[in-house]
Amino acid sequence: MTRAASLLIALLTALFAGVLLWVFHEALALAPGARLAESAMANLAATGVSNPVTAVLLNYRAYDTLLELAVLLAALLGIWSLSTATPGFQPAGAVLWGMVGWVVPLLILTGGYLLWVGGHAPGGAFQAGALLGAAGVVLRLSGDATAGLPSVAAQRWLAVCGVAAFVGVGLATMAAGLGFLTYPSAWAKWLILLIETAATMAIGATLAAAYVGGRPGSALGEKRRP
């Protein structure tokens, strides 16, 4: 690179940095306006849930949450397309497997609780799905080749069910004369619960399958512990 080109790049970088500093200064100098939190709380009753976090994720910015699920799905498809699953760990001994027999059902039960309580208290699909995924990781670490996941066909359905439920509800609200993912007040609670249930299953299956790290059903030499 020539000296003139280096100077030009340095000048443009400095100019860009100066513009950013000016924008930040002007933003900080503006008089404070209405806070989004206040507007969100004022309209909470129309969202179908009483937990403001769930209202933000599934109602106010449902598009963003839909795209988050799509990113998880794309990541899993990328993992499945790369290679076969790596060999599993050695089967757990009696003591470890006994602990797994207690921990995994507890994780699943807690995940179900967090899914249900998310409408009016801290919880929701992402927390519940993370616990389901953790249950799969624990099973995989204890020697279960499938991480507790069902058949290959079922895994594929589970991976897409979160995005499918979101899009399906959005198309249904459009067919009813409303906007995409604009829930009618009478059905908002149950539509959000439907989406969250599907999202929980999708997140849990995606995280567990990602930890397995390969195409489903490809670790042929391994056996599930009875």
pLDDT in tens, 150-194: 998 999 999 999 999 999 999 999 999 998 999 998 899 999 999
Could you give the 3-state DSSP secondary structure of residue 164?
A: helix
pLDDT at 132: 96
Distances (CA, A) of 121 to 52, 113, 131, 197, 199: 9, 11, 17, 16, 18
Q: 132: closest CA among 196, 56, 71, 70?
A: 196
Beta-strand ranges (E) seen in the chain are none
Q: 159: closest CA among 216, 217, 87, 109?
A: 216
Which amino acid makes up residue 187?
W
pLDDT at 106: 95
Q: What is the pLDDT of residues 104-144, one digit of tens each?
A: 999 999 999 999 998 888 889 999 999 999 999 999 988 88
Burial per residue of 200-220, b for 16 or more beta-carbon CB atoms within 10 angstroms, e otherwise: bbbbbbbbbbbbbbbbbebbe
Q: 161: closest CA among 125, 122, 137, 111?
A: 125
